[in-house]
Structure 1
């Protein structure tokens, strides 16, 4: 039995939940896919898939086995790609995971990257959820927050400074807050992260603490919060890079309080580009990291 081929088939069936689609991807009959996986199950002595006439899904033990197999296959693919493309033009599929709100800055950079490296296929996933670069087979991840503690290389693109803002119309109607206490009398547009609502944090002489505000709108999409703020629906607390255009054209006004206000309680906050050091040796990853850090680092394009 060709175990490597069987493992590749298993991964594709798990991803597509279909023998037919997996067979199409490999250009072989569906019966070949099914037979190879059955041989693998017999060799292991366990059932990896639940099969019916209409559906296919992983068993519990199959899911655990697959999680370990993915990492091994990814390492093998990396080794083969690194050896096969040594000294050659970068190519292949580059998988990038980034925050949805950052896409406004990221996409123009990726267009320019695609023009320079047409042989690289970009596979971009927009999500705020945390990723495991190895397990999720992601080449590059861009996330905001504190300096990651995982075993990854993290290059800071932006300090991710948060600014409080509102539309001129809103401020004319409700007044301009100057203190934390003033915020109690205003409507707040709040961001919901992957796991919880992100509360506003203020710092005074006693340190950081939650600042109570009255939510008027909640969303997990920064662009929606920005749009609501521009329509005069309340105060918004977003990164400077997200507010820059609206502040420049006057749709929003920056509000300065007497004390620092942020999302989170200090630390080395920022927008980080992250990758595994071992994958940096692969040409497509190396050129992408260098290009994106150059394009987006410190002073993102307007």
Structure 2
């Protein structure tokens, strides 16, 4: 039968007896009876299968095994005390590692802002993954997972809505110069499209306005790509027109790598959610990262 692990109280009793070389003085230190100290050491000796003290009417001295165990016990207690101090400090100041999983396409506007976050919170260390797959925040150990679109209810997750995205049509300026002017939706639909295929295998349709009514279409002439960053790279390379989130596309219009077609037309897009594992209280380190992401997404 597997032995039960010794209790912290029994180990502390052993350390006290060793320090004072006396069961009586150790008991006085703890404010308990001498018999209780003796039973604590006895339980520890039974668990370890060895004697820790030589006891006489005049003295209590450590055995060789006792000296070995005392060194290890003191080191372990010191590590626990250090850990408690670190955890106590984190309650007042963000400190520690935060594991973050975000959509691939969001990297272009989130990563350039991270130096600002590091300057503000130097003790928070980020472990960052860019992925469009449906990550299991609990099973994979993520602290925050950002995902786009409606999400099923999950009892093991806290779901926080971060923002609603808008959609726009983008193309490279060099590619557009090779085409006749695009004056309306019909002109655009005649051109080569770049379309996203979700992890589920479903093609994400373009959403267009037709007489003030929103409609979904799948362009007939298209290149299909499975991750958001590669879609942006394909548009920048001049492969065609793509409908992408304006939050992402506008990053590249600012440096003239992309042109937004119909810039006055804002088409409502899907929501962005943050998934956080359920806990008694969100750590401060996680909260400051979550608030920082909300600030970026709501620009």
TM-score scaled by length of structure 1:
0.59
Distance in 2 between the 1:257 and 1:248 partners?
Answer: 13
State the Cα RMSD in Å: 3.6
* More moved, 144-153 vs 220-229: 144-153
Cross-structure match for 1:37: none
Cross-structure match for 1:124: 128
Contact 2:97 2:126 in 1 (8 A): yes
Distance in 2 between the 1:291 and 1:87 partners?
Answer: 18
Corresponding residue to 1:133 among 128, 132, 137? 137
Distance in 2 between the 1:252 and 1:109 partners?
Answer: 21
Matches within 5 A, 1:94-133: 94-133=98-137
Distance in 1 between the 2:245 and 2:134 partners?
Answer: 19
What secondary structure sits across from 1:160 in the alignment?
A: strand
Distance in 1 between the 2:125 and 2:254 partners?
Answer: 35
What secondary structure sits across from 1:87 in the alignment?
A: helix
Distance in 2 between the 1:281 and 1:124 partners?
Answer: 19
Distance in 1 between the 2:84 and 2:221 partners?
Answer: 50
Q: 1:245 to 1:123 in 2, by over 3 A?
A: closer
What secondary structure sits across from 1:141 in the alignment?
A: strand
Q: CA deviation at 1:124?
A: 1.4
Contact 2:168 2:266 in 1 (8 A): no
Q: CA deviation at 1:104?
A: 2.0
Q: CA deviation at 1:2?
A: 7.7
Q: 1:223 to 1:215 in 2, by over 3 A?
A: farther
Q: Once the two structures are superposed, what CA deviation does each residue of 1:18-75 show, in whole Å capped at 9, x if it has no partner?
A: xxxxxxxxxxxxxxxxxxxxxxxxxxxxxxxxxxxxxxxxxxxxxxxxxxxxxxxxxx
TM-score scaled by length of structure 2:
0.59
Contact 1:96 1:139 in 2 (8 A): yes
Q: 1:136 to 1:291 in 2, by over 3 A?
A: same
Cross-structure match for 2:298: 298
Distance in 1 between the 2:264 and 2:293 partners?
Answer: 36
Higher Cα Rg: structure 1 or 2? 2
Cross-structure match for 1:283: 284
Cross-structure match for 1:42: none
Q: Any gaps of 5 or more consecutive residues in structure 2?
A: 6-82
Cross-structure match for 1:192: 197
* More moved, 235-244 vs 275-284: 275-284
Matches within 5 A, 1:1-302: 1=2, 84-85=87-88, 87-146=91-150, 149-150=153-154, 151-156=157-162, 158-196=163-201, 197-204=203-210, 209-256=215-262, 269-276=270-277, 278=279, 280-294=281-295, 296-299=296-299
Q: CA deviation at 1:186?
A: 0.8
Distance in 2 between the 1:210 and 1:126 partners?
Answer: 28
What secondary structure sits across from 1:153 in the alignment?
A: strand
Q: CA deviation at 1:122?
A: 1.8
Q: 1:218 to 1:138 in 2, by over 3 A?
A: same
Contact 1:184 1:213 in 2 (8 A): yes
